[in-house]
A and B are shown apart, each in its own frame.
Chain A
Amino acid sequence: MQKLVQSLLFLFLFVGSAYAQERTITGTVTSKDDGLPMPSVSIKLKGSSTLSQTGSNGSYSIKVPGAGSSVLVFSYVGYAAQEVNVGNRTTINLTLVPDQNQLNEVLIVAYGTANKNTYTGSSAQIDNKDFENRPITNVMSAVAGSAPGIQATSSDGAPGSTPGIRIRGFGSISASNDALYVVDGSVYDGNISNIDPADIESISLLKDAATAALYGSRAGNGVVLITTKKGKAGRQTLNFKATTGWVSRGLPEYERVDAFQYYPLMWETLRNSLSYGSSRIPLDVAGGIAAGTITNYNGNNYTGVKSLLGYNPFNVPDNQIVSAEGVMNPNASLLYADDLDWAEQAAQGGKKRQNYAMSYSGGSEKTDYFGSLGYTNDEGYLINSSLKRFNGRLNINTQPVTWFSTGLNLNGTYSKSQYDNVDDAGGTSFINPFYISRMIAPIYPVHLHDASGKLVLDASGQPQYDFGDGRPFASGRHTIYENLNDRQNQVRGAISARTFGSIHILPGLKATAKLSFDIQDTQDRTYDNPNVGDGAPSGRAYQYLYRTTSYTFSQLAEYNKRFDKHNLQVLAGHENYSYKYNYLSGSRSGIIVDGITELVNFATVLGTSSYEDNATIDSYLSRVSYDYDAKYLFSGSFRRDGNSKFSPSVRWANFWSLSAGWNINREEFFQAKWVDQLKLRGSYGVLGNDGGLGYYPYQALYDLGRNNQAEAGIIQRSLANPELTWETSKNFDVGVDFSLFSGRLGGSLEYFKRKTDGLIFEVEQPLSNGGTYNSGNFTVPMNIGSLYNAGAELTLTGQIVKGRAFSYSTTLNLTSFKNKITKMPSNVPLIISGTKAYSVGHSIYDFYLREYYGVDPENGDALYKTNTLTNNTRVIGQDTLTNVLGEANYRYSNASAIPDLYGSMMHNFSYKNFSLGVQFTFQTGGKVYDGNYASLMHGGSYGTALHVDALNRWSNPGEVTSVPRLDNGQVSSFAGASSRWLIDASYFQLNNVTLNYTLPASWIGAIKAQSASIYVSGDNLTLFSKRKGMFPGTSFNGTVGNNYNFSRTIAVGVNVNF
């Protein structure tokens, strides 16, 4: 390839030299930045095909005609191009100035590119240089904090995981709130983690109707355009990059009581349960029973708290751990104090992150090429969680003849991962190490110990895990052993291809056919050991094959015309999209020979299954853009989609946008010279959202394969809704873009209003109307109402210091928005969903809970506000209260999960060869429903850990506290879901610090490199939130779970260009 390009280049030069009476111009190009020579600057003789470029020492030579006035054009990406009149000079030395204000920046937009100066939409673009030195394995990790209007959850600690992104609020309740992902011009159905961040040129986030409407029925939540690298004409670069990093847990654990605090608290739980429960045993007797000193009372048998907890981790007898008065035995000490930290023992993963990438790129006038290879090895801090990924990419574009151009962009990826047992929602499964290590009481050892506390060793002298058959919490299970001995391996291969052919019919008119094809094969192999857990007692293995294939085929006509000061661009076309998902699974149990986990090594078939899903979209689209002298800007787009997810009567709809802009600074009357740009712009349009609905949401269906022995069986699966259609998003946007003082201060201020009509909600049906055997009552997706998100975004960038040696720039992003439901179905004005409820005037994330009042000082009961009178209610002051949770009514808690304000700040310092970047994100206001804290404040579940706040529990009549009595019989009532668990969601997070050092030219000259740098970068370095262990950035809806806590990564790297 390189040879070919060189020969082509040579050919051009040769042709150039055929002119008569020519002369040679020579010189050196330097950078205004650092005064150093610039290699690879392209030099072109204007009006001809003659071109040259500077060598590694910045010098060049080019031949120009002997007569006439020649003009040379010097250009380099990121620098302002300069035109120089040659005159009769033979030496031209030039200094190129970095293009700071980037007014002429090219933006990646739907179905093409646009000039930022004349663009009327609202989008944010993140370029490679913003994240190239960060230790990320998933490119979406770079999006958090990068622009206003973008909210991101912190990517969790699992290798390769993709963080959630929300563009301008929450437009949907039950349908998806996820943006549409478009990679190199076509909707991408693979996993974003397939793409090596090193291959990415830019990420564009399309926020308003003007930018997104061309994606029609799928664009309602915004669009993420990912563009991969291309070769650049005249620049040949071989790049090597290597990074190695260290991974550790980023979020600390909640503060919990230790064993010496735990035992007396659980003693008190048993005493209270017997004394305040239906058996009404006198408190002192109950204290003796709980201590284990009284074993028979009124003819019934009792045992002490040790029998309920199962374990005595102390060196004192079972009935002497806690006295009958509840005092911890002062002589007690722990038998295995060093074996009680489950979280630490679960965090024994590889804890490293390595990334190696090599790319080669270049190009000529007719052809450009980019090829890369990358390898990523990401090992999380959790045992057996890792990702090994190989990436290869080839991107070639060529125009062999003037009337035809074509290109191919091919990406292959292969990854192997061990995936963890922590599902995305951070659930409460027995194999979720975060759940178990958080909730297991501090008296249960990880390993087996004898009565004296010594480790019990196996035949080979190794410690054995304690499966905890005698433990009331997670009995007979062992998250660490299971995660070590089970297998959850995933192999994924994906190929993504994009190709096009364009016929250039007339100048400015071309017809293009584009074909995109994505295939992703994922093979999951799981094995559950026969000793403990779901695979016991015989062991079992599962294999799954998931294949996603999709293609987009488009036919586009484009026409560009410039006449006088009028500039017109027209696009029209047709597109069809097809998506197919195949599933195949098999499972067997009864392992035969140890060590082989393939299905054939298991005795009994448990099941086999397969199915295929299909979804299609057929579309017509068009866009017209016009500007007059780059001063008055107009654009309109239109798309008509037919979508297979909806019933034939409602499956076609139109989506469109109109936008306009005004570059005020280009007006004659505008005299302020200190203003580089002042642009007013606005847009309105209609988009759709079909995400998250499944493939056949309008159809009433029965599940196949519910056989009864050998008899074929089917069972009800879903109810029909033939009226179900898109959510329609009506987006209004108005903004002002400005650049002042030669680019020293720039930014945008925007107001947006996104209204969603036909809001889809999975309406929960009454239980008595039936349901499915596995998920319970039916839900029916319905277009139930309307809501809007309205808010303001501000981004400001300042070049505060711009010196020759030292410079400092900073960027501030701020967003504030309001989410409000404006319409609900008339027959159901309020719908309760989890900790929230939907009704007019409230946001979709307004908490709707029972209201906690406090603790009854007489008996320690939890009190809740109610609106009905029963035998259990009483009135205190203005409030009617009950001690029965179930009698308390639900009400709005005057709290929302949506923050008042969120934002980010970036600081970039550079001093000589050093540069330092710092990024942090923050939010203020909003509430989190801290379910983890609620679980740790259970108030009396034997064997379950307690938060230190449990030490404040009510214990004596007359005591005033906010923590109710410990009582096993009242756990559901005293610690049930209520407003008690809401907490301020404000936080501040230091996302990234990167220090980069550019090696001096004198050093790298020795290895003949063009440039080289070394850097150190740290991600997720620190977090401040209202409660230790609680991270509001876990989810958008203000809930937390037992998630794979995000990791802190510190990496060093080297980047060399030849």
Chain B
Amino acid sequence: MKFIYNKIALGLLVMITGAACKKDYLQTTPTDQVATETAFSSTKNAWAALNGIHRTMYSQIFGVQAQGGQSGNMLYMDVLGEDMVFNTSSNNWLLPEYRWVRHRDATSSMLYYNYQFYYVIIGNANMILANIADAEGPDADKAAIRGQALAYRAWAYFQMVQLFGERYVPGGQNSSLAVPLVLEPKDTPTPRNTVAEVYEQINIDIDEAIAALEGYKATNKSHLNVNTAQGIKARVALVQGDWATAVSSARAARVGYTLMSNDQYLAGFNNYDNPEWIWASRIQSDQTSYFYSFFAYMSANYSSTVIRTSPKSISSTLYNTISQTDVRKGLWDPTGKDATFPTPTSTSIRAPYMSRKFKVADPSLSIGDVPYMRAAELYLIEAEALARSGDNVGAAQTLYTLAVNRDPGYVLSTNAGEALINEILLQRRVELWGEGFRFYDLKRTNSALDRTGANHNASYANGVLEVPANDARWQFLIPQDEINFSNGVVVQNPQ
């Protein structure tokens, strides 16, 4: 009998071993992620949330190459224009965009990227704006974080409204649909707002950003300081035809930045220590974006297939307008035979008018700094705005400052009116070639796409050499996913 008790005791022992779990046994948390509450518990953490946006500017986006952060948009904007020429169709990267196919295909990844990339930035900015007030930390930090989030949001909407909306017509109603204005974290779909409404919000945000960033000293150029915010405001004003604001903001934006030397101009556009650069990403080796990098598509010397086989050229028409004494003339090789132009390998294709504007900083890694805003652009904005507002003298003088820096033989322009505006726009095309402005500028100025008469091969372009101004194709389609996932709350553009 006693043995039975022993066995019962043993049995009970077996049953209770480990039977009681600790109270927190079921509470698990990840180790490579933090809770949203933690992310905004202090300004120190909120700075990290802002740095995450800076990093997104040069991250591999959505698994589609050529979309290495903001540089993807830059590439698309140039290949859609007439100043960048394809020398072969053997490489498909950017070719359908060159043919004006992808931004009119609602299911293309190019459209998804140009929409969702900016909404990722807006979403993260909205999280900061919604939570920063309650974070522990100095008010100065909160203002600097908030100001940058606002500037990002204004900039992202500005990038998008120009693509997905109809062209902004200064003085017009601008009542056609653009993109949904989402201004706080939310989980319900938002219908599209009008072009006018989106610009209104952009202006509210950028003005608040400028106020909040007053006095903030950025530790490097990947941060958005008051100059960057003013530069964004100048760009917006130029599109909206607000010439006075464009002038004043452009001037304010470039305070503290000087034009680069001619030697620096030929150094490869890969280093944000350049005194002229205002806003840029710096990519270091353990943050490489591999073949997504801007330099894997646009540089002269990185050994990617697309560079080896399809070097990017300037339009011969545009090249021929550049003066012989202009340092920029040396960025392109009209012969396609100049051995001093770098190529990634000895068997790489050379083509007439090919570029060496961009050179990869680290050829083993495809990386280099990517410019988003330079002082030169602000001179051009200021000059154009002055010219369009009738101040020919002021415009010519502003243009002179930039142009003579690039071309010692440049003489002060005596043009006026349309002729002066055209001269400024031509300078703009040469100066900003390859930096992602051309489609925006064509649409902004209501110009037709005209690739005829230059070195474009019509077979490669699938015959797309001309697109009239105001053609439906100037408006990007809304990604089909947005229409599907908003259950039709977001509607499609005319096709």
Interface residues in chain A, defined as those with a beta carbon under 8 Å from any beta carbon in chain B: 270, 273-274, 277-279, 281, 289, 297, 299-304, 307-308, 310, 403, 469-473, 475-477, 501-506, 509-513, 534, 536-538, 553, 555, 557, 573-574, 576, 589-590, 603-607, 609, 611-618, 642-644, 648, 651, 695-696, 699-709, 711-720, 764-777, 780, 828, 830, 832, 870, 872, 884, 886-887, 942, 968-969, 971-973, 976-977
A611 adjacent to B31 (CB under 8 Å): yes
A770 adjacent to B120 (CB under 8 Å): yes
Assuming A614-B28, A648-B27, A766-B485, what are 19 further A-B pairs, CB within 8 angstroms? A270-B459, A278-B467, A279-B464, A297-B458, A300-B452, A300-B453, A475-B90, A534-B290, A537-B303, A611-B31, A643-B26, A712-B51, A713-B54, A714-B34, A714-B48, A714-B49, A767-B115, A770-B182, A777-B485
B305 adjacent to A477 (CB under 8 Å): yes
A717 adjacent to B11 (CB under 8 Å): no
Q: How far is the CA of A316 from the CA of B483 in the complex (A)?
A: 51
In the assembled complex, B389 has its CB within 8 A of some CB on chain A: no
Question: Interface readout for B293-312 with A: 1 if CB under 8 Å, 0 if not?
Answer: 00000000011111011000
In the assembled complex, B119 has its CB within 8 A of some CB on chain A: yes
Of the residues A701, A712, A765, contact of B187 by C-beta under 8 Å: A765
27 A-B pairs in the complex with CB atoms less than 8 angstroms apart = A300-B456, A308-B460, A469-B349, A472-B92, A476-B308, A513-B14, A557-B11, A609-B32, A616-B26, A643-B26, A699-B35, A702-B33, A702-B52, A707-B55, A707-B287, A713-B50, A713-B55, A715-B53, A720-B36, A764-B484, A764-B485, A767-B486, A771-B116, A772-B120, A777-B116, A968-B462, A972-B108
Question: Interface readout for B1-22 with A: 1 if CB under 8 Å, 0 if not?
Answer: 0011001101110111111010
Q: B64's closest neighbor in chain A, by CB? A: A776
Q: Report A-chain residues with C-beta under 8 Å of the C-beta of B304.
A: 476, 536
Q: Report A-chain residues with C-beta under 8 Å of the C-beta of B39.
A: 702, 714
Q: Report B-chain residues with C-beta under 8 Å of the C-beta of A310.
A: 88, 90
Q: Report A-chain residues with C-beta under 8 Å of the C-beta of B107.
A: 972, 976-977
In the assembled complex, B431 has its CB within 8 A of some CB on chain A: no
Q: How far is the CA of A765 from the CA of B108 in the complex (A)?
A: 19
A279 adjacent to B187 (CB under 8 Å): no
Of the residues A470, A704, A713, A971, contact of B32 by C-beta under 8 Å: A704
Q: How far is the CA of A512 from the CA of B21 in the complex (A)?
A: 18
Q: How far is the CA of A310 from the CA of B53 in the complex (A)?
A: 41
Q: A576's closest neighbor in chain B, by CB? A: B21
B33 adjacent to A717 (CB under 8 Å): yes
- 10 smallest beta-carbon distances between A and B, as pairs: A770-B123, A476-B305, A279-B463, A511-B11, A715-B52, A713-B51, A611-B32, A538-B364, A537-B303, A708-B54
In the assembled complex, B400 has its CB within 8 A of some CB on chain A: no
Q: How far is the CA of A870 from the CA of B365 in the complex (A)?
A: 49
Q: How far is the CA of A269 from the CA of B461 in the complex (A)?
A: 14
A304 and B459 in contact (CB under 8 A), knowing A642-B26, A702-B39, A780-B187? yes
Q: Report A-chain residues with C-beta under 8 Å of the C-beta of B38.
A: 702
Q: A940's closest neighbor in chain B, by CB? A: B462
B31 adjacent to A612 (CB under 8 Å): yes
B494 adjacent to A870 (CB under 8 Å): yes
Q: B3's closest neighbor in chain A, by CB? A: A403
A299 and B452 in contact (CB under 8 A), knowing A534-B290, A604-B285, A976-B107? yes
B108 adjacent to A701 (CB under 8 Å): no
Chain B residues 135 to 171 lying within 8 A of chain A, measured CB to CB, are: none
Q: How far is the CA of A718 from the CA of B127 in the complex (A)?
A: 12
A701 and B287 in contact (CB under 8 A), knowing A576-B18, A766-B489? no
A886 adjacent to B105 (CB under 8 Å): yes
B19 adjacent to A774 (CB under 8 Å): no
A503 adjacent to B7 (CB under 8 Å): yes
Rounded to whole Å, the gap between the CB of A150 and the closest CB of chain B is 33
A503 adjacent to B36 (CB under 8 Å): no
Q: How far is the CA of A592 from the CA of B55 in the complex (A)?
A: 30
B26 adjacent to A644 (CB under 8 Å): yes
Question: Interface readout for B109-142 with A: 1 if CB under 8 Å, 0 if not?
Answer: 0001001100110111011000000000000000
Q: Report B-chain residues with C-beta under 8 Å of the C-beta of A712.
A: 47-48, 51
Q: Report A-chain residues with C-beta under 8 Å of the C-beta of B36.
A: 700-702, 716, 720
B26 adjacent to A828 (CB under 8 Å): no
Q: Report A-chain residues with C-beta under 8 Å of the C-beta of B459.
A: 270, 274, 289, 302-304, 307-308
Rounded to whole Å, the gap between the CB of B353 and the closest CB of chain A is 13
A700 and B35 in contact (CB under 8 A), knowing A614-B28, A771-B123? yes
Q: How far is the CA of A320 from the CA of B4 in the complex (A)?
A: 101
A576 and B25 in contact (CB under 8 A), knowing A707-B55, A977-B107? yes
Q: How far is the CA of A310 from the CA of B95 in the complex (A)?
A: 15
B463 adjacent to A553 (CB under 8 Å): no
Q: How far is the CA of A764 from the CA of B45 in the complex (A)?
A: 28
In the assembled complex, B101 has its CB within 8 A of some CB on chain A: yes
Of the residues A768, A774, A780, A870, contact of B495 by C-beta under 8 Å: A870
Q: How far is the CA of A308 from the CA of B349 in the complex (A)?
A: 16
Rounded to whole Å, the gap between the CB of A469 and the closest CB of chain B is 5
The stretch of B375-383, B390-398, B433-441, B473-481 that contacts the partner chain: B473-481
A604 adjacent to B26 (CB under 8 Å): no
Rounded to whole Å, the gap between the CB of B60 and the closest CB of chain A is 7
Q: Report B-chain residues with C-beta under 8 Å of the C-beta of A886.
A: 105-106, 477, 480, 492, 495
Rounded to whole Å, the gap between the CB of A533 and the closest CB of chain B is 10
Q: How far is the CA of A715 from the CA of B34 in the complex (A)?
A: 10
Q: How far is the CA of A286 from the CA of B25 in the complex (A)?
A: 73
Q: Report A-chain residues with C-beta under 8 Å of the C-beta of B8.
A: 505
Question: Interface readout for B269-295 with A: 1 if CB under 8 Å, 0 if not?
Answer: 000000000000010111110110000
A709 adjacent to B62 (CB under 8 Å): no
Q: How far is the CA of A928 from the CA of B300 in the complex (A)?
A: 46
Q: How far is the CA of A1057 from the CA of B55 in the complex (A)?
A: 65
Q: Report B-chain residues with C-beta under 8 Å of the C-beta of A590.
A: 364
Q: A469's closest neighbor in chain B, by CB? A: B309
B90 adjacent to A471 (CB under 8 Å): yes
Of the residues B19, B61, B91, B282, contact of A475 by C-beta under 8 Å: B91
A476 and B91 in contact (CB under 8 A), knowing A278-B463, A766-B485? yes
In the assembled complex, B241 has its CB within 8 A of some CB on chain A: no
Q: How far is the CA of A304 from the CA of B459 in the complex (A)?
A: 7
Q: A303's closest neighbor in chain B, by CB? A: B459
Q: How far is the CA of A576 from the CA of B25 in the complex (A)?
A: 9
Q: Report B-chain residues with C-beta under 8 Å of the C-beta of A613.
A: 28, 30-31
B285 adjacent to A555 (CB under 8 Å): no
Q: Report B-chain residues with C-beta under 8 Å of the C-beta of A770.
A: 119-120, 122-124, 126, 182, 185
Rounded to whole Å, the gap between the CB of A44 and the closest CB of chain B is 27
B32 adjacent to A512 (CB under 8 Å): no
Q: How far is the CA of A475 from the CA of B92 in the complex (A)?
A: 8
A714 adjacent to B52 (CB under 8 Å): yes
Q: How far is the CA of A701 from the CA of B189 in the complex (A)?
A: 21
Q: A718's closest neighbor in chain B, by CB? A: B33
B485 adjacent to A505 (CB under 8 Å): no
A537 adjacent to B363 (CB under 8 Å): yes
Q: Report B-chain residues with C-beta under 8 Å of the C-beta of A643.
A: 26
Q: A967's closest neighbor in chain B, by CB? A: B462
A555 adjacent to B91 (CB under 8 Å): no
Question: Interface readout for B198-239 with A: 1 if CB under 8 Å, 0 if not?
Answer: 000000000000000000000110100000000000000000
Q: A504's closest neighbor in chain B, by CB? A: B7
Q: How far is the CA of A503 from the CA of B112 in the complex (A)?
A: 64
Q: A582's closest neighbor in chain B, by CB? A: B31
Rounded to whole Å, the gap between the CB of A760 and the closest CB of chain B is 17
Q: How far is the CA of A510 from the CA of B185 in the complex (A)?
A: 57
Q: Report B-chain residues with C-beta under 8 Å of the C-beta of A719.
A: 187
Q: A710's closest neighbor in chain B, by CB? A: B284
Of the residues B35, B62, B115, B123, contact of A701 by C-beta under 8 Å: B35
Q: A968's closest neighbor in chain B, by CB? A: B462
Q: Report B-chain residues with C-beta under 8 Å of the C-beta of A773.
A: 56, 59-62, 120
B25 adjacent to A618 (CB under 8 Å): yes
Rounded to whole Å, the gap between the CB of A800 and the closest CB of chain B is 52
Q: Report A-chain residues with C-beta under 8 Å of the C-beta of B101.
A: 969, 971-972
Q: A471's closest neighbor in chain B, by CB? A: B90
A278 adjacent to B464 (CB under 8 Å): yes
